[in-house]
Amino acid sequence: MEKDIFCKIIDGEIPCYKIYEDQDVLAFLDISQVTKGHVLVVPKEHYETFLSTPQETMHKVMDIAQRIGQVEIKLLGAKGVNILTNCYEAAGQSVPHFHVHVIPRYEKRDGFILEMKDNSKGLNLPQLAEDIKNTL
């Protein structure tokens, strides 16, 4: 199977601007810099998405994402941070290797747009909640 781009970065075949590295986790600047300081945090072991990553590894990645978010507020003067991970193409994932985006936010129109519409009309919320709860 062809290596994904993050596996190549982890193996040193493609350069990156490293922010953090340990045995299990690597963090580096996203090439697109949606906002200044946009960082990606990835596990060194290959897992396709957040959903298929073992809990211990997922926690290590999230720990580093949290620390980087804190630094972005302190150092870069960000007013907020979006921490997100896209799972599968339908959710916007373009690189099939679990990664967490840490995106500092400076103002509402700073390059990052996340729109959440209210589509609750017509849904049976008690039933929906019950179904999800019973499958957890």
Known active-site residue 99? yes
- What's the rounded Cα separation, in Å, for the pair 99 and 86? 8
DSSP string, 8-74: HHHTTSS---EEEE-SSEEEEE-TT-SSTT-EEEEESS--SSGGGS-HHHHHHHHHHHHHHHHHHHH
In angstroms, the Cα distances linking 95 to 74, 86, 99, 113 are: 29, 9, 8, 20
Interface segment toward ligand 5GP; rule CB under 6 A; list 27-35, 51-59, 63-71, 128-136: 27-35
Q: Which of 2, 74, 90, 92 binds ligand 5GP (CB under 6 A)?
A: 92
Say whether residue 31 binds ligand 5GP (CB under 6 A).
yes
Q: Which is nearer to ligand 5GP, 28 or 78 (CB)?
A: 28
Smallest distance, Å, CB 9 to ligand 5GP?
Answer: 6
Say whether residue 95 binds ligand 5GP (CB under 6 A).
yes
Say whether residue 57 binds ligand 5GP (CB under 6 A).
no
Catalytic residue IDs: 99
The residues that touch ligand 5GP, with contacts defined as CB under 6 A, are 5, 14, 16, 28-32, 40, 86, 92-95
